[in-house]
Amino acid sequence: MATIGILAGVFFTLALTLLAVAFIAKSQLADRLSSWAFLAFEILMIPVIVEIHRRYVDHTALTWLATATGLAAMVVLIVSGALVLAGRVTFARVGAVQAGAFAVFTVWVAATSWFALAFGGLPAGLAWLGFAAIVVTLGAIAWMMRDRALVRGERPPNRAEMAMGVVPFIALAAWLIWLGASL
């Protein structure tokens, strides 16, 4: 399971890196590769979410809610991302849905972090990094969601917006890789 978890974090990191390259270089290839890397991350997260459920289901019934939340977010991200990759819809049509689904995914990150602190089984430092990553990630998402053109992909983020997104996503990438290594 550790390998799958680490790979999920690596694909997330790769997807973000390619997305930054796509915005900076205005590269459609990097954008498409980023979409594929995000899809790989989302698929790999499914067994990770199930593993966290397995580890904590005997401790609290909230595990069921957290698992359903995480899986639902991944399904929305997988389906919408696959539709964009297949050319069935444009990112402009699903950008807000994907941003919302990713925000819902952070609820699973919060639950996993809380489970780690409350019941052990994962490093406490991982839990605190998870909480910090959520705060800065949701802050960045909320800040960017104010601009509908940005959310719809009608314009690329400017340098300030990209800089605003670096810290949250590095924190989340580090959390994902650390989680994977801890499984």
Residue type, position 16, single letter:
L
pLDDT band at 126 (very low <50, low <70, confident <90, very high): very high
Q: What is the pLDDT of residues 48-98, one digit of tens each?
A: 999 999 999 999 999 999 999 999 999 999 999 999 999 999 988 998 899
pLDDT band at 169 (very low <50, low <70, confident <90, very high): confident
Query: Which residues fall within 8 angstroms of residue 150, CB to CB, at 6 or more apart?
Result: 144, 157, 161
CA distance 156 to 31: 11
121: left (phi over 0), alpha (psi -120 to 50) or beta: left
What is the domain extent for residue 94?
Answer: 2-182
Q: Residue 26 carries which DSSP code?
A: T
Total of domains in the chain: 1
Say if residue 151's pLDDT is above 80: no
pLDDT of amino acid 123: 98
Averaged pLDDT, 127-145: 88
On average, the pLDDT of the chain sits at: 93
Place of tokens 């994902």: 176
Residue type, position 27, single letter:
S
Q: Which two tokens stand for residue 53?
A: 């459920």
